[in-house]
């Protein structure tokens, strides 16, 4: 984690970096403090993509660790048990909390939703645990 913070600081840089032409500068989409990340010596990083047709939804499930979802195209709504739904649009991101029952879906009747999913877990942890409700 320290490496990631140092890397982020070096990428984002200070005033000197901002003044140099020809250097790409990242755009902060989401910064959020989370709980429940794995504490093992080694973790597995997964980056997944998903395309939701109009009305498509995920299975009812939980995650063992926080999941970050970035919406590339369309709109994505996350329905969480006993919490208000969260809706994010193209160019936005959110963190799905661990150990909360949920289902995600494309609320549009006409447009695709495309997302990139970032998940850090302990080795051999499944991406999700399906639930029956």
Which CATH architecture does the domain made up of 30-130 adopt? Sandwich (2.60)
Which parts of 74-124 are beta strand (E)?
A: 75-80, 86-89, 93-96, 102-105, 113-121
What tokens were used for 118? 């970032």
pLDDT for 8 equals 44
Domain boundaries defined on the chain:
30-130
Query: Which residue has tokens 């919406």?
Result: 71
Give the residues across from 116 on adjacent strands: 49, 70
| pLDDT tops 50 at residue 98 | yes
Q: What's the average model confidence in pLDDT over 31-46? A: 93
User: For all residues of the chain together, what is the average pLDDT?
Assistant: 89
Which parts of the chain are beta strand (E)?
A: 44-52, 61-62, 67-73, 75-80, 86-89, 93-96, 102-105, 113-121, 129-130
| pLDDT tops 50 at residue 6 | no
């Amino acid at each position: 984690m320290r490496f990631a913070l140092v890397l982020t600081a070096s990428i984002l840089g200070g005033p000197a970096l901002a003044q140099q032409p020809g250097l790409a500068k990242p755009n902060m989409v989401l910064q959020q403090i989370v709980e429940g990340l794995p504490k093992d010596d080694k973790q597995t990083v997964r980056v997944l993509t998903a395309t939701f047709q109009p009305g498509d939804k995920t299975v009812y499930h939980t995650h063992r660790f926080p999941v970050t979802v970035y919406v590339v195209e369309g709109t994505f709504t996350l329905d969480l048990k006993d919490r208000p739904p969260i809706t994010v649009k193209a160019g936005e991101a959110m963190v799905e909390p661990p150990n909360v029952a949920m289902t995600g879906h494309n609320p549009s009747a006409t447009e695709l939703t495309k997302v990139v999913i970032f998940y850090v877990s302990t080795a051999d942890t499944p991406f999700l645990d399906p639930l029956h409700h």
